[in-house]
Structures are given as C-alpha cells and as structure tokens.
A and B are shown apart, each in its own frame.
Chain A
C-alpha cells in the first residue's frame, strides 16, 4: 500500500513539475524536491492535486518539510 502511494505521489510530482523531474528521481530519494528543481509554482500545483485527490486541505503556514521528499510526504498523508 505504501509503495503504491509512493509511486502515485512520484507521478503527481513529475506531472506538477511538467516533466522536469522524473518519477524515478523522486523515488530514488537521493535529493530533496527543491534540489531536483521543483519550483514554487510546481509545488502549489502539487498541493492542488493532493488536495483534490485526497480530499484534504493542506496548511501552508505550517512546516512544509514533508514536501521535500516522497517518503515524508507518504508519512504525512497516512
């Protein structure tokens, strides 16, 4: 289940980045999403998608470190 969610999120991140970042790069976890080049606009796009798909609202005033890595993102969504 976790692996399925990881792959799904990696695809969402790749789509939000408009193909700049590949799902494999996300899944390897070697670099933060910022280091991979996820722009602010792509991050907002990713947040929109996550909110739409998972039916939740993300508080942007809080700690956003979970948005730097697919595994922390999985943990935050569980």
Chain B
C-alpha cells in the first residue's frame, strides 16, 4: 500500500535551531540514535474506510512541510511530492491499540536515513479488516511531542471531514526568523547568560570519581507514585508556582544530596514554543535551558520559589544558535553538564489522577529497566506523560550513581514533596 502526496511548496533552507540541536544529537548517538525516534499512535475514531484514513494522512503530509523534508549538512530540503509506503497489519484477537503501540515501537528501532528517507514511517492497524489505528514513527528532526499533539488534533478533525485553515508557519519560516537581527540578538543574550553561569560551576557533574559500574552500566529507574502527583499539585497551588518547578526543586535537592558542592547545575529540556508563530508549528523546536541553583536551605517552600525564578531565567535563555553555543562551551572549558530534567507532560497537572488518590505512599512502586543502548547520561530526571499517576524516572550511569542510590533519590523526591504539603 502507498500514498502519493503533492504539497503546495518545495525548497531548501538552513536548519532551524531546533533541527540543528537534533542533527548534532543524531550524529553524536550514531547507531543508537533510534533512542531519539518518536513513536506515536493516532487512533481511528469511528468506523472509517481505509481510503479515508489514508487521505487524512496524505493531507497531513501535504499541509506540513516537515513531513516531506529530508536533512543533510546543507540544511532542510522540502519536497513538493513523493510516495510513502504504508504497511497494513491485522490486530487479530489482540487489543488494537496495544498492537498499534507495539508496531510503532518496533518501527522506532530502525534508524532513519535522514537524507534519503521521508521523516515518518506508518502502518495502519486493522481490526476485523477495518482501520483501527495509525501507528507511526517520526524522526525527532521533524517533530517534537508538542508537534505530535498538534498533528493528533488535526488528525481527529480530518477524520471528521473538517476543513482545516492553512498552515501559517513552517520550519523554513522559522529558519528565516532565526536569522533576523532580533533573533540573533536573542541568541547572543542567551549565550552570554550560559557563559556567565559556566564561569562559576565545576566542569564535572559529580564531585566523586566514577566507581565500578554495575551491569548494565546505564539504567532507568522508574517510580510510579500517585502521592507525588497529589503532593506536587497541592504545593503548586499553595505556592503559586508550576508543578514542574516544584518537582524540579525536589530533584535538584536530590542531586545536591549526592554531591558536596554548593551549586546544582542542570539542563532543562524545554519545548521553547514561546513565540506565537512557533506555538502552532509542526516541527522540532525544543532546546536545552541551563539551570543553576545554590544548595537548598531547610525552607523547601522558599526553594521552590527560587527554583521557579531560576527556571524562568533558564527558559528565557533557551533560544540560541546551537553552533555558536557549542563554540562558546568549548572555550568555556567543555563542561559536561550531563544532568538533565525533562517534564514530558503535555499540560499542567494530572487530569486523569483517580479521585481517591492521596498522599499515602503505599501505592508507590519502583522498577528498573535497561536504558536504551547508546544512552550515556550521567543523570537524567524525567516526569512521565501519564496523566493518571505521578511518574518520575532517573536514567543513571551506575558508575556514578548505583541503582540503590538512584532508587533512594526517587523516594527522597517523593518524601520531600509529601512532607512539604
């Protein structure tokens, strides 16, 4: 099965800052760059014919240049037309969505050939011969998770037969904007902020040398804690700072707890869509922000407020040309800055949290998974996207943080938040 698409535009442009960040990341990760692939499932709402589903996909590709873009060192190249091969899979007796998620995950294992391949792969999952879901994987060069949420909304509308307004802003427009004097000045200001921060921070994340790593060396420990969600929500309301900042404060404190230094430095994965034009763009926009905090005192509420202000500073200085930033960072001493925080929730809060969820930690569980091959973070906190429970995970290098330490850091974050309510 295949679809033939014919868009309204074509052309070439330099990469956007977001694309450049990803371009560097995929090359740094090499054969393990599949970690950066974005699997995603679009459910087929209602009883639709296969032709309707394929038409909706075709329209998405024709509307959004990023879905018909290839990438090279020279930049982004948008093709007007092309053919996308589509697989069909029958779910059989299994639940359709489960099959779709599995298929999307399987497709994500294969690295994209960014210069020669379309930036998405798609399979229609059928149930009793009818389309049940569209399983996809996208290269992160083409989309971020906000872009996928935008596509999901359009997908629903297209299946209903709705007319969509023209797309106002594409990655090529964004590349043009980023080359403007105003945005270059913004990049310069951001890089100056990073330079100032880096002057006063150590080159290494940890002040202790690596020990004997465990096997596997890189792990992800995940904590599923409704209590964390309840506590973060209540603290956020009481302190009028975001739940992201509340959790970030507790994570920064946990990181400070495994070091003896007076400063905590973390990179925040940031969606960066603060410009109204960028907000609705289907593309990859995220860049990393640099957070610096002094070791927290005993007043956690005050530390949450301090963290919130520091995070605002960091977010504000997350618009920059990644190439110029790399040059500055190398001159500044090549700090590894390998401590990250990412909040993957699409919107604030946990809207699907059970009504009876409370501060009891009796339902909390932790479990460990192998980190993806090629993942080499020293410490990476992630707030999970599940709207029904508080998910917090740490990817860790066990040479620096043994599994037991990682688990106690997660439990420490939960305990800190629950106690502060």
Using C-beta atoms within 8 Å of the partner chain, give the interface range for chain B: 20 to 34
Q: Are B276 and A60 within 8 A (Cβ)?
A: no
Q: Are A15 and B313 within 8 A (Cβ)?
A: no
Residues on A with beta carbons closer than 8 Å to the beta carbon of B273 = 41
Q: Chain A: how many interface residues by the 8 Å CB criterion? A: 20
Q: Are A47 and B240 within 8 A (Cβ)?
A: no
A72: CB under 8 A from chain B? no
A64: CB under 8 A from chain B? yes
Which of A10-58 touch B at CB < 8 Å?
Answer: 15, 18, 32, 34-35, 37, 39-45, 47-48, 52
Majority SS of interface residues in chain B? helix
A61: CB under 8 A from chain B? yes
B179: CB under 8 A from chain A? no
Residues on A with beta carbons closer than 8 Å to the beta carbon of B241 = 34
Measured CB to CB, the closest approach of chain A to B165, in angstroms, equals 15
With the chains together, A57 CA to B245 CA distance in Å?
24
Interface string of B262-291 (1 = CB under 8 A from A): 000000000101111001000000000000
Q: Are B309 and A40 within 8 A (Cβ)?
A: no
B244: CB under 8 A from chain A? yes
Instruction: State whether A64 and B240 are in contact (beta carbons under 8 Å apart), knowing that A44-B274, A48-B274 are contacts in the complex.
Output: no
Q: Are A40 and B275 within 8 A (Cβ)?
A: no
Q: Are B274 and A45 within 8 A (Cβ)?
A: yes
Interface string of B307-344 (1 = CB under 8 A from A): 01101110110000000000000000000000000000
Q: Are A61 and B274 within 8 A (Cβ)?
A: no
Q: Are A61 and B313 within 8 A (Cβ)?
A: yes
B11: CB under 8 A from chain A? no
Instruction: State whether A43 and B312 are in contact (beta carbons under 8 Å apart), knowing that A15-B276, A48-B274 are contacts in the complex.
Output: yes
Residues on B with beta carbons closer than 8 Å to the beta carbon of A45 = 274-276
Residues on A with beta carbons closer than 8 Å to the beta carbon of B308 = 40
Residues on B with beta carbons closer than 8 Å to the beta carbon of A61 = 309, 313
Q: Are B240 and A41 within 8 A (Cβ)?
A: no
Measured CB to CB, the closest approach of chain B to A64, in angstroms, equals 6
Measured CB to CB, the closest approach of chain B to A16, in angstroms, equals 8
Residues on B with beta carbons closer than 8 Å to the beta carbon of A64 = 309, 312
Interface string of B163-183 (1 = CB under 8 A from A): 000000000000000000010
B242: CB under 8 A from chain A? yes
With the chains together, A45 CA to B316 CA distance in Å?
9
Residues on A with beta carbons closer than 8 Å to the beta carbon of B351 = none
Q: Are B315 and A44 within 8 A (Cβ)?
A: yes
With the chains together, A34 CA to B348 CA distance in Å?
12
Q: Are B240 and A40 within 8 A (Cβ)?
A: no
Instruction: State whether A34 and B240 are in contact (beta carbons under 8 Å apart), knowing that A40-B315, A61-B309 are contacts in the complex.
Output: yes
Instruction: State whether A60 and B316 are in contact (beta carbons under 8 Å apart), knowing that A15-B276, A40-B242, A40-B308 are contacts in the complex.
Output: yes
With the chains together, A40 CA to B309 CA distance in Å?
9
With the chains together, A52 CA to B185 CA distance in Å?
12
With the chains together, A13 CA to B348 CA distance in Å?
18
Q: Are A48 and B244 within 8 A (Cβ)?
A: no
Residues on B with beta carbons closer than 8 Å to the beta carbon of A41 = 271, 273-274, 315
Q: Are B316 and A44 within 8 A (Cβ)?
A: yes
21 A-B residue pairs with CB within 8 Å = A18-B276, A18-B279, A32-B240, A34-B240, A34-B241, A35-B240, A39-B348, A40-B244, A40-B245, A40-B308, A41-B274, A41-B315, A42-B274, A43-B312, A44-B312, A44-B315, A45-B276, A47-B316, A60-B313, A64-B309, A68-B240
Given A48-B274, A61-B309, output 13 extra A-B contacts at Cβ < 8 Å: A18-B276, A39-B242, A40-B244, A41-B271, A41-B274, A42-B274, A44-B274, A44-B312, A44-B315, A44-B316, A48-B275, A60-B309, A60-B312
For the complex of A and B, 9 pairs with smallest distance between CB atoms: A34-B240, A45-B274, A60-B313, A44-B274, A44-B316, A44-B315, A41-B274, A60-B312, A40-B242
